[in-house]
Amino acid sequence: MKINKLLIATHNIGKFKESEERLSKNLPNTKIISLSDLGITEDFEETGETYEENAMGKAKFYYNLAKIPTIADDSGLSVDALGGEPGVHSRTWPGYTATDEELLEMILDKMKDVPKDKRTACFVTVIAFYNGAEEMIAKGEEFGSISDKSESKMDEGLPYSAVFFPKGHNKVFSQLSIEEKNAISHRGRALEKIIKKLK
């Protein structure tokens, strides 16, 4: 599939940087565009009950605004000790769209009495592609555990990155470079699947 332009439909700076780096490297003949490049400030209301619904809804919403082939994602953190929360509601966990700082404080508070061997979690990303006719969906997962404190400064827009240790690593996500993160992360894995389909 030949794509001259590709819109990454997110206002989240952290997500955009991770996705743009991977896409530019693997699709060198495709111009990667952000919402800010187009002056699009509208927000998509994520009302779906699954990552797939939210990701595809977002891709279609921004495609209809930009008329450019679009990818969008929905991501979340599922913590076993919290019954899978915050899951698909990772950004609106308190019942409203919370700040990075509020979400970081909330997860550390909810996990404060959970023993080390019970702090397992999984990050999930579903990426959707839409170009007005074709739809594609790809899913990526990364398993790991939740720290008992903030290990480093979080990546902007990615609050849980400061407390999530990917399995087999002694650094949390926010301590990894974009290249390291893309090699192992849930978003990197989903992007890899989408890139293969686009090629």
Residues belonging to the active site: 74
The single-letter DSSP state of residue 85 is -
Are the C-beta atoms of residues 154 and 174 closer than 8 Å to each other? yes
Tokens of 108: 């550390």
User: What Rg value do the Cα atoms of the chain yield, rounded?
Assistant: 16
How many whole angstroms separate alpha carbon 179 and alpha carbon 66? 29
Are the C-beta atoms of residues 166 and 144 closer than 8 Å to each other? yes
Are the C-beta atoms of residues 91 and 97 closer than 8 Å to each other? yes
Decide the pairing of beta strands 135-146 and 164-166. antiparallel
